Amino acid sequence: MCSAICPRDAISFQYNEEGFLYPEINRENCIECFLCGMTRACIHLLHFDFKGAFSFHPLSFIVFPILCFIVLQDCINIMKSIKKS
């Protein structure tokens, strides 16, 4: 997810000592855009951590509800198309 949104291809994943994939940021390629902060802020909102979300990106309080609406609308459309067939 993170590496897919990065415009500079600065994120790669490495296995840590416990065998889990862990993101690594190439600081030379990173331009410190808003995308990483927005992703982390939305994840914090998913966990109802409003303070954490605000610290990562204040606009997440606008973007996250819009994303939820779009996803919900898509789910409803998919369910309608399944019901028709």
Q: Contact positions toward ligand SF4, by CB under 6 A?
A: 5-8, 10-11, 25, 30-33, 35-36
Measured CA to CA, the distance from residue 39 to residue 50 in angstroms comes to: 14
- Could you tell me the smallest distance in angstroms from the CB atom of residue 57 to ligand SF4? 11
Q: Which is nearer to ligand SF4, 5 or 59 (CB)?
A: 5
Pair 63, 37: CB distance under 8 Å? no
Q: Which is nearer to ligand SF4, 33 or 72 (CB)?
A: 33
- Could you tell me the smallest distance in angstroms from the CB atom of residue 72 to ligand SF4? 26
Q: Which is nearer to ligand SF4, 10 or 41 (CB)?
A: 10
Pair 39, 1: CB distance under 8 Å? yes
- Selection from 71, 69, 47, 50 nearest residue 61 by Cα: 50
